Amino acid sequence: MNSKRETIIIVDDDITNLTVGMNSLDNTYDVFTAPSGSKLFAVLEKVKPDLILLDIEMPEMDGYEVIQVLKNSDGISNIPVIFLTSKIDPASEIKGLDLGAVDYITKPFSRELLLKRVGLHLLLERQKKELLSYSRGLENEVSKKTKAVIELQNAILMTVAELVECRDSVTGGHIERTQRYLHLLINLALDNGIYIEELKQWNIGLVVMSSQLHDVGKVSIKDDILLKQDKLTDEEFAEIKKHAEIGAEIIRRIERSTSESAFLKHAEFFAESHHEKWDGSGYPYGIKGEKIPLEGRLMAIVDVYDALTNDRPYKKAYAHEEAVNIIRDGVGSHFDPLLCDAFLMSNFIFQLANFNTPDGTVNYDELRSMVKMVANIMDIRSVSKNGRTDAIQHCLKIFIAALLKHERYGAEVASWDIELLLLSAQLHDIGQMGVNDKILSKSEALTEDEYETIKSHTEYGMNVMRQIRDSVTNGSLLHHAEVIASSHHEKWDGTGYPNNLKGKAIPLQGRIMAIVDVYEALVNDRPHRSKKTHQEAIETIKNLSGTHFDPELVEVFIGSEHELERVVTA
């Protein structure tokens, strides 16, 4: 039995109908009344009813208009509505039911009929909620069990992968790194529409997990060959090459004893084909082109990149740029040209994704160096080509120093890792790496299509940073970079992009960067205009306060204008 009294709101402009309705129902339910649609919404701000009885014929806002607003409002759209009407009109009834009403009750109504009809619909609503609750509970249980199975499966895989790495001591961390790079390369391929039909059919998480087994065949290679410090003989290299076939056979044996297929099939392809080459000169079968499974073509790139950028007994690690050039030289011979295009266009992501030290801590010097390298590349492609990221960082330092002293913003800004924020700011326009050079450097007015392309750099930048964040141990360190990349073109009045965020719905990092970004752009030349003086730029910032920019932040920024001027004129 339902011990809690249910709540009903009656909406009618006729006081008599409201009185009759309340007298009929208030012994059983908690009843509220509203003489109009506007009054109903005022009541709904304080009361969440289980049912609404709604008159159709009302002045100002009739019942049809009221239910349309209800059904399009978050939090109240699921409240059942019964229309009250004095007219029996099939067309009107159909219209009301189409708009979302659950029933009609004709006026004048009897107490018994009203109680019965209301009781029936409240019972149906209770049963619907119970069924939904049961369904969600069942889904949660299934989800928990599925998650537990996946975690167990991944733990077993990691154990097997670690077993391989323990025997092959020169490639420590190789499995983890190649997983990270593989995930990035798959996302880059999807972003660029490469092999998209096949990739969309994959469960990407499952595929990346299965890649841990790509070198499982090495468990059968003798230690004296696997751990040899000198160059391998031809016979020893022939023995090493067998690991691809052996690994695939190990996985096929598992496949024959289990009903699971997709996960192991991906693992089999990784193990067997990651040493095949686009021109057919690879092993074990010498297959070529797209006859090589996509898993193998993807792994070929990330496997070689990792081997090049890490120490081996026979060589020291190559720098990122050297490794990229070697892979570029292998386009069309060793590697799939389309996948290489995706890698080469955004190869800096791979370097950024690898800034953790072996113990999982952060090497700040290495991270700072990597970010600077990417910033330099961005400056080369930038419309100003004048070390823009350095100028922005200097201005941002001054702005942050002022904000730290501010009563409203000081505590929040102080809670940030300022060094990481300043590093992140250098990547605010990283999405421009995905914009065509001709559009970036165009001196005439952009067409609408070109402007839309330019605007897309915020979402592209956010996705790039998210890909990196999801692929590294300390992904939270890139939180500022993702937020700034996605929100620095939002405007205080909601007219910005990409999400038309308004006011304080825009993250504070984005509101700060919006001011710094515009200021720096104004005081430097652009293809379509000459630079403004410091004072002209400050006046422009003032004029955009409350529309483009957060007014309070503008006040703080202008309060530091003398320090800013010294940076500009230095």
Terminal Cα-to-Cα distance of the chain (whole angstroms): 79
Please give the average per-residue pLDDT across 449-464, as a whole number.
Answer: 81
Please give the average per-residue pLDDT across 250-278, as a whole number.
Answer: 84
Give the lowest-confidence range in 33-42, 186-195, 335-344, 414-423.
Answer: 414-423
∠339-332-235 over CA atoms, to 5°? 105
Band (pLDDT 50/70/90 cuts) for residue 386 is low
Report CA 456 to chain centroid distance, whole Å: 15
Above 80 in pLDDT, residue 35? yes
Give the lowest-confidence range in 67-81, 184-198, 424-438, 529-543.
Answer: 424-438
Q: What is the per-residue pLDDT for 387? A: 54
Phi, psi of 487 (to 5 degrees): -120, 0
- Selected residue with higher pLDDT from 481 and 136: 481
Q: What is the per-residue pLDDT for 445? A: 80
- Residue 216's closest CA among 177, 250, 257? 250
Q: What is the per-residue pLDDT for 186? A: 92
Q: What is the per-residue pLDDT for 494? A: 95
Q: What is the per-residue pLDDT for 2? A: 47
- Selected residue with higher pLDDT from 530 and 280: 280
Q: What is the per-residue pLDDT for 553? A: 95
| Highest mean pLDDT: which range of 191-200, 332-341, 366-375, 401-410 | 332-341
Q: What is the per-residue pLDDT for 557? A: 93
80 is written with which tokens? 């059942």
Q: What is the per-residue pLDDT for 527? A: 63
Q: What is the per-residue pLDDT for 275? A: 96
Above 60 in pLDDT, residue 355? no
pLDDT, the chain, mean: 82
Distances (CA, A) of 350 to 180, 301, 429, 472: 9, 12, 18, 10
Cβ within 8 Å of residue 538, ≥6 positions away: 519, 558, 561
How far is 111 from 23, CA to CA, in rounded Å? 8
Q: What is the per-residue pLDDT for 110? A: 80
How far is 64 from 92, CA to CA, in rounded Å? 10
- Residue 502's closest CA among 481, 516, 487? 487
Identify the DSSP state of 285. Answer: S
Q: What is the per-residue pLDDT for 158? A: 55
Q: What is the per-residue pLDDT for 147? A: 58
Above 90 in pLDDT, residue 516? yes
Domains identified in the chain and CATH numbers: 7-137 (3.40.50.2300), 168-345 (1.10.3210.10), 364-569 (1.10.3210.10)
Above 70 in pLDDT, residue 78? yes
Q: What is the per-residue pLDDT for 274? A: 96
Whether 553 contacts 515, CB under 8 Å: yes
Band (pLDDT 50/70/90 cuts) for residue 360 is very low
How far is 248 from 216, CA to CA, in rounded Å? 8
Does the predicted TM-score (pTM) go above 0.85? no
Give the lowest-confidence range in 269-278, 307-316, 461-470.
Answer: 461-470
Type and span of the H or E element at 7? strand 7-11
459 is written with which tokens? 């979402």
State pLDDT tens for residues 481-509.
Answer: 888 888 999 999 999 999 999 999 999 99
For residue 118, the tally of other CB atoms under 10 A from its CB is 23
Q: What is the per-residue pLDDT for 145? A: 58
Distances (CA, A) of 419 to 85, 186, 403, 414, 426: 66, 31, 15, 11, 11
Percent of the chain with pLDDT over 90: 31
Band (pLDDT 50/70/90 cuts) for residue 325 is very high
Cis peptide before 358, with omega less than 30 degrees from 0? no
Which amino acid is located at 452 in the chain? E
240 is written with which tokens? 């090493």
SS3 462: helix
Band (pLDDT 50/70/90 cuts) for residue 393 is confident
∠301-303-309 over CA atoms, to 5°? 100
- Selected residue with higher pLDDT from 330 and 362: 330
Which amino acid is located at 453 in the chain? T
Please give the average per-residue pLDDT across 199-226, as a whole number.
Answer: 83
Phi, psi of 30 (to 5 degrees): -85, 120
State pLDDT tens for residues 143-198.
Answer: 665 555 555 455 555 545 555 555 554 445 788 888 888 988 998 888 788 999 99
Q: What is the per-residue pLDDT for 172? A: 52
Band (pLDDT 50/70/90 cuts) for residue 381 is low
Please give the average per-residue pLDDT across 213-223, as a whole number.
Answer: 79
∠298-333-318 over CA atoms, to 5°? 70
Q: What is the per-residue pLDDT for 431? A: 75
Please give the average per-residue pLDDT across 418-445, as a whole number.
Answer: 76
- Looking only at the bridges linking them, the beta strands covering 7-11 and 81-85 are unpaired
State pLDDT tens for residues 228-256.
Answer: 777 888 998 898 899 899 888 888 877 77
Above 50 in pLDDT, residue 358? no
Name the strands in the sheet holding 103-106, side by side, starting at the edge strand that comes first in the sequence. Answer: 30-34, 7-11, 51-55, 81-85, 103-106
Please give the average per-residue pLDDT across 116-139, as a whole number.
Answer: 78
